[in-house]
Amino acid sequence: MSPLPFIFKNPELLAMAMTHRSALNEKKGSQQSNERLEFLGDAVLELIVSHYLFQHFPHLPEGQLTQKRSEIVQTKTLAAAAKRLNLGENLIMSKGEKKAGGASNIGLLANTFEALLGATYLDQGLKKTIDFVYQHLLNQLDELVTLAGVHDFKSELQESWQKRFKTAPKYQLIKTVGPDHAKTFVVKVLLNHQVKGEGEGLSKQAAQQAAAQKALEKIS
């Protein structure tokens, strides 16, 4: 892994952040996967990015701030940040997951980045976590967006519907398919309770992007 700007006080937190749940099937002991840390890291990331946008764009209304935040924290952008940190190469996973390309799976990379943030928050506190997010995400946004090849269909759909219908899209998870280590998420997007698009992806964010793309295709 690329050297972190600090040494973990509790190395077990770092190990947990880098452990995909598929590895638990091949590993004996009490080691936990990174899913709980991912949950925490997702919330911490949203707080840090929201505060950043609130400070740097004082004249933007709430809807546009939400749009900008979604552009920053989407799966492809986080996966690009994870690649720069070589997280995929250091992710502990099952042989099957590794053989299936888990080290380069954008959903797993984005989740691992969030798990690392959760671990950093617990081990180093909020200030160090903020510094980490600025260093490895916010200060690198232009490069990361280019690297990720991001096309943000969700933001495009939100802008379109806000102008035409004065309302924002609502996303709803329909189902998940496949084993826990290789789930596919199916999501629908609604306008005033009517389904306007459906998409699937290896993460909820990717499925939402696919659903938004379908809705935009209907409009055009």
Catalytic residue selected from 38, 97, 114, 123: 114
Q: Is 89 helix (H, G, I), strand (E, B) or coil?
A: helix
Catalytic residue selected from 42, 97, 123, 152: 42
Joined together, the tokens standing for residue 140 give 């690198």
Rounded CA separation 14/100 (Å) = 24
Q: In what order do the strands lie in the sheet with 184-191?
A: 170-177, 184-191, 194-201
Among residues 46, 48, 11, 49, the alpha carbon closest in space to that of 31 is found at 11
Rounded CA separation 14/143 (Å) = 26
Look up 62 and say whether it is catalytic.
Answer: no
Look up 131 and say whether it is catalytic.
Answer: no
Residues tagged active-site:
42, 114
